[in-house]
C-alpha cells in the first residue's frame, strides 16, 4: 500500500479513537509493511496533527511500542470554541417569558458541544479519572463526548430509580434552582467502588446537584478528581463547591438581561 494511503488511514484511525493505544505492529500487519515504515508514517501524522492544534500523538517505544491520539486545543482554538458558545447562549430568542434561558438545543447540538467536550478533555487530561459521571438530562451530551475523548465510560445518574436499573442507591439533595429537596438515583452497578470520577454537568447555580453527585460518589467509596460545568451562574456568591471549571459565566442583570463571560483561565495554560 502506498505511503500516502497509509498515513490517511493512520490519521483517521487514531483521531476517531482518541486516547486508545494502537501498536505499530497492528498497522504494519494491516498494511503488509515493515514496522519501520509505520514508524516513518507516524512522524508525518504527528507533524500534521500538531500543525492543526487539535491534538498530539503520544508514543511508547520498545517491542510493545504503540501510539495514541491525545485531543488538545491550542489557546487560539479554545478561544474560538468559547466565543461560539457565548454567541449561541446570547441569542436574544433564548429568553423565555419566565426569565429562564432556553438552552436544550445548544446542549444537544453535536457541533457546539463537541467543542465544549474538547476543552474539558484538555483541562482534565491529567486528572486520572476512571469514569465520567453526569446527572440527567441536559449534560448527557457533553459528558458523553468528553468521555469518548478521554476513552472513559460514562455513568448517568437518574432523577428517579427505574426497574431496569436493578438495585439502586438514592440520595436526596437541596436544589437551589428548584428551591426544594430533590432525589437522584443510580444502579449499584453504575459506579465501580473506589473509582476516580470526573463530574461533567451542563449548568450550576448554587452547586446543590454537584454536592448531590459527590455525596452519591461517597456511597460507592468513589471520589471526584475534577468537575466541569458548561455554564455557571455568576450571581450566587456562596457556591457550595469551589473546585469546578466552568466554560462560561452567566451574569443575570436586574432588568432581566443575560450576558455570558468566558472563563479566561482556560486561555492561559
Size of the site for a second copy (CB under 8 A): 56
Reduced to 3 states, what is the DSSP secondary structure of residue 63? coil
Report the nearest approach of a second copy to the CB of residue 9 (Å): 5
Which of 38, 57, 120, 190 is close enough to bind a second copy by CB under 8 A?
190
> For residue 121, which of 153, 154, 143, 97 has the smallest C-alpha distance?
143
- Asked if 187 interacts with a second copy (CB under 8 A), we say yes
38 to 77, contacts with a second copy by CB under 8 A?
44-45, 47-49, 51-52, 54
Candidate segments 58-66, 152-160, 228-236, 258-266, binder of a second copy by CB under 8 A: 152-160
The residues facing 83 across adjacent strands are none
The residues facing 226 across adjacent strands are 198
Joined together, the cell numbers standing for residue 243 give: 473546585
Cα(104)–Cα(110) distance, integer angstroms:
12
Cβ neighbors of 67 (< 8 A, separation 6 or more) are 14, 21, 22, 24, 42, 57, 58, 59, 60
Nearer to a second copy by Cβ, of 51 and 268: the residue is 51
Candidate segments 79-87, 136-144, 213-221, 245-253, binder of a second copy by CB under 8 A: 136-144
Reduced to 3 states, what is the DSSP secondary structure of residue 46? helix
Cβ atoms of residues 21 and 66 within 8 Å: yes
- Asked if 33 interacts with a second copy (CB under 8 A), we say no
Cα(262)–Cα(5) distance, integer angstroms:
41
Joined together, the cell numbers standing for residue 152 give: 472513559
Report the nearest approach of a second copy to the CB of residue 6 (Å): 8
Candidate segments 72-80, 110-118, 207-215, 216-224, binder of a second copy by CB under 8 A: 110-118
Per-residue mark of binding to a second copy, 80-109 (x: CB under 8 A): ----------------xxx-xxxxxx--xx
Cα(63)–Cα(72) distance, integer angstroms:
27
Cα(154)–Cα(120) distance, integer angstroms:
14
Cα(131)–Cα(144) distance, integer angstroms:
11
Cβ atoms of residues 130 and 152 within 8 Å: yes
Which of 38, 78, 115, 148 is close enough to bind a second copy by CB under 8 A?
148
Report the nearest approach of a second copy to the CB of residue 17 (Å): 8
Residues near a second copy, by CB under 8 A? 1, 3-5, 7-9, 11-13, 15-16, 44-45, 47-49, 51-52, 54, 96-98, 100-105, 108-111, 114, 136-137, 140-141, 144-145, 147-148, 151, 153-156, 158, 163-167, 187, 189-190
Amino acid at each position: 500500500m502506498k505511503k500516502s494511503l497509509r498515513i490517511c488511514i493512520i490519521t483517521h484511525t487514531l483521531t476517531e479513537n482518541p486516547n486508545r493505544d494502537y501498536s505499530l505492529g497492528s498497522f504494519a500487519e494491516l498494511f503488509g509493511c515493515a514496522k519501520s515504515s509505520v514508524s516513518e508514517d507516524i512522524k508525518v501524522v504527528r507533524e500534521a496533527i500538531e500543525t492543526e492544534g487539535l491534538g498530539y500523538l503520544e508514543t511508547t517505544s520498545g517491542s510493545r511500542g504503540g501510539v495514541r491520539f491525545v485531543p488538545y486545543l491550542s489557546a487560539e482554538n479554545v478561544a474560538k470554541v468559547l466565543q461560539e458558545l457565548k454567541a449561541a447562549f446570547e441569542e436574544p430568542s433564548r429568553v423565555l417569558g419566565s426569565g429562564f434561558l432556553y438552552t436544550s438545543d445548544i446542549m444537544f447540538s453535536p457541533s457546539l458541544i463537541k467543542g465544549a467536550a474538547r476543552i474539558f478533555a484538555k483541562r482534565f487530561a491529567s486528572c486520572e479519572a476512571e469514569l465520567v459521571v453526569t446527572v440527567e438530562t441536559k449534560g448527557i451530551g457533553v459528558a458523553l463526548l468528553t468521555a469518548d475523548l478521554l476513552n472513559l465510560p460514562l455513568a448517568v445518574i437518574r432523577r428517579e430509580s427505574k426497574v431496569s436499573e436493578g438495585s439502586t442507591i438514592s440520595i436526596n439533595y437541596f436544589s437551589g434552582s428548584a428551591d426544594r429537596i430533590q432525589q437522584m438515583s443510580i444502579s449499584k452497578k453504575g459506579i465501580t467502588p473506589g473509582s476516580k470520577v470526573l463530574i461533567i454537568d451542563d449548568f450550576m447555580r448554587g452547586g446543590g446537584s454537584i454536592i448531590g453527585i459527590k455525596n452519591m460518589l461517597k456511597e460507592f467509596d468513589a471520589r471526584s478528581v475534577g468537575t466541569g460545568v458548561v455554564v455557571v451562574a455568576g450571581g450566587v456568591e456562596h457556591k457550595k463547591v469551589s473546585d469546578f471549571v466552568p466554560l462560561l459565566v452567566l451574569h443575570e442583570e436586574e432588568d432581566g438581561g443575560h450576558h455570558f463571560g468566558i472563563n479566561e483561565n482556560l486561555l492561559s495554560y
